[in-house]
């Protein structure tokens, strides 16, 4: 029998490795930015076209590479960061696997230009699918420029799995933010489709956070600082009133490396116990410094997961540090059961001295039970004593007080229990009488039996069709705000709002102005309140970035679905009989009343025959 095991060709092995390292354009951005940081750059520029599908270019002013290094960096397991296995437990750099450049070159066209400071000329290398097309001398500036073009050009299946430009751009921005927030001493800039998204100057940590997330962030932050033998903690947490329903502003950095840790995240959220509303998440930017030998970052290809030697100790310290800061800056409530502040002496009277005790006059003959409610005497009317300052009152006769508890006679006819009718009784099968069950379902009678309707899903369907019609066919009514509302957003969110402005105005939103960091809303749809504006727009942006499940590729469809989901009647809301009837009628006036915008069943019918079977079957 012939041998069947063979070594894979290098280009196939590189493509397999690329599947682990390069999952999407954002993966390339992360690797190139980290290489630029390891090269000692003070200024790093990121250029993106078509959400990274056409071009990803990173330009830095670092130390550059020699001719040999420029060629060798595209080989697998080639790295300058480690020399032996022991170095894996004392890492102070970003990349160390030696797979990133080889993996990127295997699935894209790569142009590398680099020059060291002490060299007059640099090197230019062009690679297509792991094959070096050319290498020549080039008059380039100090540092390195890596341009990755036509990502996944030779793996069409992988390219087809990429999401829309909006989603892929969001992932790129997330990676850029994580790297920029970890290195406030470096200047970063980002351009997407020839439009500047970020231009971050070097500065302190707070300045960098504000520059990344917007100027309004400054007033939200509470500083956190703690130094122990085990860990050093610095950073900021947002005040509870600025918490959000979405998760997106939770940042952990360990030794200047962004990480994800649900365990440590729980430590922070537990410090906010009692301060956040249901479903809200705190925002935080925590920078942890631990001994390199106490962590293992070589457990995942993306290097975003870290294994700690003493997680339980870190959990306790982080939780205590955040809780202490919230209390120190009067964010958390302080309870003092030993003193009632209402009994404190006013400040203006605290230094006043009193020479004698004030006299209190008491009427010893006063009897509060002597008279009942005052009653004006018929013989002593106010008109007959116009010059008198008091009236004569008569005590009401209470001899027959038992009569107060006897049945009151009235001219209105009385009803017996048998004659009373209840709202819950059906008049007949065709009346369409409705009932609300557990403030979640609506039960309505129909000719063939009954129909059980999910009030939230049904209202989603109604609103979805209304919004879709308003956007595509007619303009929705809008209610003007007495005072325009200004809302701050991140820069990439502002750009997305600008793209959606016309569609949002067709749903009823009206904008006074849109700046680089905020929007001013002067009109809103008649179906929402002023307090809902921020929540609804944030939810819409999240849905557009994530491309909410089971939706078409139409942006108008996504907007309609997102608004319907946000504004639909929630489970737990009590509806009046009229509201229930309107909901039922509006549902069955829809083009497709049987399913919600997200493909869930809105109602279930039970025929008379099915109901009969329930009660005729034997137990």
Note whether residue 443 is domain-resident.
yes
Q: Indicate whether 180 and 263 sit together in one domain.
A: no
Largest CA distance in the chain: 132
Beta-carbon count within 10 A of 345 CB: 9
Question: Is the domain of 318 the same as that of 447?
Answer: no
Residues in the chain where the model's pLDDT stays below 70: 1, 8, 10-21, 77-98, 297-303, 330-358, 360, 368-432, 474-475, 546-554, 619
Buried-state track 2-22, b at ≥16 Cβ within 10 A, e below 16 = eeeeeeeeeeeebbebbeebb
Same structural domain for residues 192 and 216?
no
Q: Are residues 130 and 215 in the same domain?
A: no
61 and 168 part of one domain: yes
Q: What is the pLDDT of residue 431?
A: 47
For residue 39, the enclosing domain spans 10-200
What are the backbone dihedrals phi and psi of residue 366, each rounded to the nearest 5 degrees, phi first?
-70, 130
**Domain count across the chain:** 3
Do 158 and 34 lie in a common domain? Answer: yes
Query: pTM surpassing 0.95?
Result: no
Cross-strand pairs, 525: 478
**Residue 215 and residue 190 share a domain:** no
Q: What does the pLDDT read at residue 287? A: 94
Q: What is the pLDDT of residue 474?
A: 65
Q: What is the pLDDT of residues 267-316, one digit of tens each?
A: 999 998 888 877 788 889 999 998 888 877 655 555 677 778 888 899 99
475 occurs within a structural domain: yes
In 3D space, the residue among 489, 541, 484, 486 whose CA is nearest the CA of residue 516 turns out to be 489
Q: What is the pLDDT of residue 361?
A: 72
Asked if residue 597 and residue 457 are part of one domain, the reply reads yes
The strand pairing partners of 441, in sequence order, are: 437, 454
Domain limit, last residue, from 288, 307, 328: 328
119 and 21 inside one domain: yes
What is the CATH classification number for the domain harbouring 268?
3.30.230.10
Asked if 556 contacts 431 with a C-beta cutoff of 8 angstroms, the reply is: no
Looking at 296, 328, 360, the residue that finishes a domain is 328
406 part of a folded domain: no
Q: Dump pLDDT digits (tens) for 560-605.
A: 888 888 889 988 889 998 999 899 999 989 988 999 988 899 999 9
Q: Say yes or no: 217 and 185 in one domain.
A: no
Query: How would you list the strands of the sheet with 449-454, edge to edge?
Result: 434-437, 441-446, 449-454, 603-607
Query: Token digits for 175?
Result: 């990676």
Regarding whether 286 and 176 lie in a shared domain, the answer is no
CB 242 within 8 A of CB 221: no
Per-residue pLDDT at 413: 43
CB 15 within 8 A of CB 106: yes
CATH of the domain at 509: 3.30.1370.100
| Burial category of 50 from C-beta neighbours within 10 Å (exposed 0-12, middle 13-18, buried 19 and up) | middle
Any domain includes 359: no
> Is 165 in contact with 61 (CB distance < 8 Å)?
no
Domain membership of residue 611 (yes or no) is: no
Residue 410 in any domain: the answer is no
| 156 and 235 share one domain | no
Q: Report how far apart, in Å, the C-alpha atoms of 11 and of each of 8, 60, 553 are.
A: 8, 28, 35
Q: Does residue 389 lie within any of the structural domains?
A: no
pLDDT at site 337: 45
């Amino acid at each position: 029998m012939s041998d069947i095991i063979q070594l894979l060709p290098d280009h196939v092995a590189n493509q397999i490795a690329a599947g682990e390292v390069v999952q999407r354009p954002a993966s390339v951005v992360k690797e190139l930015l980290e290489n630029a940081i390891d090269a000692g750059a003070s200024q790093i520029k990121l250029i993106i076209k078509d959400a990274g599908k056409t071009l990803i270019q990173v330009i830095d002013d670092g130390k550059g590479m020699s001719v040999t290094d420029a060629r060798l960096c595209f080989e697998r397991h080639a790295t300058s960061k480690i020399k032996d296995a022991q170095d894996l437990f004392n890492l102070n750099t970003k990349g160390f696997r030696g797979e990133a450049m080889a993996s990127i070159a295997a699935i894209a066209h790569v142009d590398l230009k680099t020059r060291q400071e002490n060299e007059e000329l640099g090197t230019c290398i062009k690679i297509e699918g792991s094959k070096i097309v050319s290498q020549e001398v080039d008059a380039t500036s100090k540092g390195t420029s890596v341009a990755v073009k036509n990502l996944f050009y030779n793996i069409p299946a992988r390219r087809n799995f990429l999401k829309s430009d909006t989603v892929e751009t969001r992932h790129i921005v997330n990676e850029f933010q994580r790297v920029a927030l970890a290195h406030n001493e470096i200047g970063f800039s980002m351009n997407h489709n020839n439009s500047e998204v970020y231009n971050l100057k070097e500065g302190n940590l707070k300045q960098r956070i504000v520059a990344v997330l917007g100027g309004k962030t400054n007033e939200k932050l509470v500083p956190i600082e703690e130094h122990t033998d085990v860990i050093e903690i610095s950073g900021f947490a947002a005040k509870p009133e600025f918490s959000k329903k979405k998760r997106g502003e939770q940042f952990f950095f360990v030794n200047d490396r962004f990480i994800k840790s649900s365990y440590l995240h729980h430590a922070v959220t537990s410090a906010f116990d009692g301060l956040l509303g249901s479903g809200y998440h705190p925002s935080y930017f925590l920078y942890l410094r631990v001994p390199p030998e106490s962590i293992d970052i070589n457990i995942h290809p993306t290097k975003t997961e870290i294994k700690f030697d003493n997680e339980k100790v870190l959990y306790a310290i982080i939780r205590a540090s955040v809780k202490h800061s919230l209390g120190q800056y009067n964010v958390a409530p302080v309870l003092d059961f030993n003193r009632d502040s209402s009994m404190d002496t006013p400040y203006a009277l605290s230094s006043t001295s009193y020479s004698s005790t004030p006299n209190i006059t008491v009427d010893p003959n006063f009897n509060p039970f002597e008279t009942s409610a005052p009653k004006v005497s018929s013989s002593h009317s106010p008109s007959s004593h116009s010059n008198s300052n008091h009236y004569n009152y008569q005590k009401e006769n209470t001899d027959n007080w038992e009569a107060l508890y006897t049945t009151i006679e009235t001219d209105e006819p009385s009803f017996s229990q048998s004659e009373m009718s209840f709202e819950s009784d059906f008049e007949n099968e065709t009346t369409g009488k409705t009932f609300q069950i557990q403030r979640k379902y609506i039960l309505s009678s129909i000719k063939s039996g009954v129909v059980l309707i999910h009030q939230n899903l049904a209202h989603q369907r109604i609103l979805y069709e209304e919004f879709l019609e308003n956007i595509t066919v007619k303009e929705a009514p809008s209610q003007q705000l007495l005072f325009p509302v200004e809302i701050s957003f991140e820069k990439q969110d502002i750009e997305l709002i600008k793209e959606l402005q016309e569609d949002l105005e067709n749903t009823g939103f009206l904008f006074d102005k849109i700046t680089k960091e905020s929007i001013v809303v002067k009109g809103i749809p008649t179906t929402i309140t002023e307090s809902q504006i921020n929540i609804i727009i944030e939810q819409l942006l999240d849905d557009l970035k994530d491309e909410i499940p089971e939706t078409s590729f139409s942006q108008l469809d996504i907007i309609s679905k997102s608004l319907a989901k946000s504004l639909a009647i929630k489970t737990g809301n009590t509806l009046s009989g009229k509201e229930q009837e309107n909901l039922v009628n509006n549902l069955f006036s829809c083009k497709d009343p049987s399913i919600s915008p997200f493909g869930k069943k809105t109602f279930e019918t039970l025929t008379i025959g099915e109901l009969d079977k329930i009660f005729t079957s034997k137990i």
